Structure 1
């Protein structure tokens, strides 16, 4: 496998495509943003003017798209991936979407003789840039093994977690934990600041103890500075929490804290923070306690 057709060169897709080029793959990329395509070409990739052009002749086709409607349109729709892709090709969808959408894509792929993996990632923009993403994969063991060189080029860890759709379930669980952790770190900051405590020193202590997390490691300084430049936008986490709650309904389980996290994320969007980093849950919680201006 040496040639990759890559569709979706956004915040996550662009660095992932560049890392594949660096790893020695021949990458042909397409995105509706012509600037993103041009930047990939500057890094050694090949520009494509359409989905079909990116897909034609590729050993592996990769998509990294925002949500279910884009995946359905780009993969299953007219002039989409499955209208061009050849039988036997490996198709890897790195997008975060509903499990049932991934299963539908896998069935459509099987009808065309295409091998399909759902492979949502965790790690945010920095993880994509540094090629240290965690990749949760749904599909067959044979196809997972075939895709391992691709996963190794863009991530630090990759695991097959079950059949098609299973990767999306694990990603939903990941986003539930991430959102909940952000909310709790935000509450800890509000509590310390309101109590006159040195919150920076306090978070340093938390990060070094049992409460430590990657979020505390990477985000505590920017959260204290109220720097919410997006690495992963609230709008996308809002979409992901919808997936979490939908998966819970399908599995018939109760996620009471998940509903609360989803409400916080919705509040952030309602307050105009949709384009901010998901650490902006701090702004929502601080406003609830009248610690910040609206």
Structure 2
């Protein structure tokens, strides 16, 4: 459904996307991962035609995004990081309006709006002006807009930011339903690795504009992840050490810690099993701080 081949985008001397290639099939959920500035949002914006690449191709449903933008965009539902709602329209009016823009009849737009209001827990907010919604409420309404046309390709850029655990769970269930029941191809950009492990079939890890890994969650963990021991100190600093056997290697790691005068106090020791988080850390060499959040 989506094919990205050798995508390159430069801003002056900065190469934001550097030869990115991947695919997303119908009914598949692919997690797009990377720290801020890795090139995720630029990639998504190029797919929808908001950004013109310097080279490379993007096809959606067999349509080249640059050569046939209208045909390609007709298949896409996109929820960007920044919410895009008309503040002086109610939630229901926003959904109906965007539904009508996709060519739906008034009856179908009304029915789909009511369906999504129920699915995303927006019943109490349906009659409120979008401009007075909380951040989490606006995020839900924003994603609902992307789902109005039952897109064949659903692009979600940090769709669960600011949501409470219960609402996030409902959102994830809806994303899975779009793929499994409706056959949508889903590209799911997220900083929450726990939820990526739960719902994604594959992950694409981008770092400094390049793809470092592309495979199933299990494959990515198996190829790149190691267990780790993380020390947190009183001054807020952390040290992370990759290990093969945490129980066996922990005493030696503790013995090597600086305990002299002026050294920060050790506050906690955390053993991290091989996971998508440790795979990400091993691949990028960067601390995935802010990328990990527990999903209940």
TM-score of the aligned structures, taking structure 2 as reference length? 0.32
TM-score of the aligned structures, taking structure 1 as reference length? 0.32
Structure with more relative contact order (C-alpha pairs < 8 Å, separation 6 or more): 2
| Structure richer in strand, relative to its length | 2
Greater C-alpha Rg: 2
| Structure richer in helix, relative to its length | 1
